[in-house]
């Protein structure tokens, strides 16, 4: 296992936000992530929540803009905020658009030969990071996962594929059915090729249909003034699938009147999400 290099540490809400750098074996490049460790971590390992960010973000956006540490500190929970794609690798076309390539790893393992060496964010988040954080005072048996937009897709799909690994999941404005929206189709066709069977392995709506896990503790918030609500997020399709499967008691999907896709929306409801996870992590 590679070692973690501490780049910075800032005290906040009685704990610390720490930025780490490390060599990633899955992504074959140097990566950074942020961790918030509450003061309780000085005494013994604490439960943690992963937060997966959206298109164009780095490991910093959530930590700087969400206000989540205020609530995480109240519950003695750690927060883990990874980056959104491999960094410092040079692949033709990886910086041509804001919704594909750098900053847009889509939390999958690419199979297209051009991308397959580095673009393995699914395995990075679900396998490599959980091993790495064993070096930190985090209780690896009590973790949950959440995210925003592309990261909401990541959180829900990774949760459905590894439900024994996470106590609960939540998402803000997730790309819920990427197979059927422009962002997802662009990413999946380039990273995975044309085989729709492979696409289904990273699509929340499709994964939910075949889900056989024991539990489903999921909270989803989306704003009714989100410009991407109809074209990209497909929350109605997710709600219909939840209803058809009789899982409405396990999937709480809330439409928040007048809110948009920004951190002004996330910060308003992030305390609700932390409380949701805390109830399953305690």
Binding part of the chain for its own copies, among 64-72, 128-136, 188-196, 231-239 by CB under 8 A, reads 64-72
Instruction: Tell me how crowded residue 57 is: count the other CB atoms within 10 A of its CB.
Output: 22
Task: Examine residue 97 and tell whether it contacts its own copies (CB under 8 A).
Answer: no
Check binding of 11 to its own copies (CB under 8 A).
yes
Which span (67-75, 117-125, 128-136, 168-176) binds its own copies, by CB under 8 A? 67-75
Contact in structure between 18 and 44 (CB atoms under 8 Å): no
Q: Tell me the residue ranges of DSSP E strands in the chain.
A: 5-12, 15-24, 29-37, 46-52, 78-82, 138-148, 169-172, 218-223, 251-256
Task: Decide: is 67 part of the binding site for its own copies (CB under 8 A).
Answer: yes
Contact track, its own copies, 212-251, x by CB under 8 A: -----------x-x--------------------------
Residues 160-219 binding its own copies (CB under 8 A) are none
Pick the piece of the chain touching its own copies (CB under 8 A) from 9-17, 40-48, 113-121, 191-199.
9-17
Please give the positions annotated as active site: 149, 226, 261
The site for its own copies, by CB under 8 A, has a size of: 23
The single-letter DSSP state of residue 3 is P
Residue 123, interface with its own copies (CB under 8 A)? no
- Separation CA 111–CA 79 (nearest Å): 30
Q: In what helix (H) or strand (E) does residue 273 lie, and over which residues does it extend?
A: helix 263-281
User: Which is nearer to its own copies, 269 or 280 (by Cβ)?
Assistant: 269
Tell me whether residue 174 or residue 223 sits nearer to its own copies (CB atom).
Answer: 223
70 binds its own copies (CB under 8 A): yes
The DSSP bridge partners found for residue 172 are 148, 221
Give me the least distance between CB of 259 and its own copies, in Å please: 5
Q: What is the per-residue binding string for its own copies in 255-274, x denoting contact by CB under 8 A?
A: ---xxx-xxxx-xx--x---
187: three-class secondary structure by DSSP: helix
27 backbone dihedrals φ, ψ, rounded to 5°: -95, -10
CB 125 within 8 A of CB 117: no
Chain centre to alpha carbon of residue 158: 8
Whether 216 contacts 156, CB under 8 Å: no
- Give residues in contact with its own copies (CB under 8 A): 10-14, 17, 64-65, 67, 69-70, 223, 225, 258-260, 262-265, 267-268, 271
């Amino acid at each position: 296992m590679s070692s973690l290099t501490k780049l910075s540490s800032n005290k906040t809400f009685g704990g610390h936000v720490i930025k780490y750098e490390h060599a990633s074996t899955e992504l074959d490049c140097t990566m950074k992530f942020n961790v918030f460790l509450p003061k309780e971590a000085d005494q013994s390992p604490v439960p943690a929540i992963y937060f997966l960010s959206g298109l164009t973000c780095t490991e910093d956006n959530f930590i700087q803009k969400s206000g989540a540490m205020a609530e995480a500190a109240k519950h003695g929970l750690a927060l883990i905020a990874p980056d959104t794609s491999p960094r410092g690798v040079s692949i033709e076309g990886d910086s041509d658009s804001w919704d594909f390539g750098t900053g847009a790893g889509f939390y999958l393992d690419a199979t297209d030969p051009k991308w397959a060496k580095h673009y393995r964010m699914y395995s990075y988040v679900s396998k490599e990071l959980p091993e790495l954080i064993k070096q930190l005072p985090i209780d690896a048996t009590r973790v949950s996962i959440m995210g925003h937009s592309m990261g909401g897709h990541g959180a829900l799909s990774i949760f459905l594929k590894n439900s024994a690994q996470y106590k609960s999941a939540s998402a803000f404005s997730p790309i819920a059915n990427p197979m059927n929206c422009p962002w997802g189709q662009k990413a999946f066709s380039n990273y995975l090729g044309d085989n729709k069977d492979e696409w289904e392995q990273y699509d929340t709506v499709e994964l939910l249909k075949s889900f056989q896990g024991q539990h489903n503790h999921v909270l989803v918030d989306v704003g009714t003034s989100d410009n991407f609500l109809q074209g990209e997020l497909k929350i109605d399709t997710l709600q219909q699938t939840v209803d058809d499967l009789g899982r409405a008691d396990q999937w709480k999907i809330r439409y928040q009147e007048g809110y948009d896709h920004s951190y002004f929306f996330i910060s308003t409801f992030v305390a609700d999400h932390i409380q949701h996870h805390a109830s399953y992590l305690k």
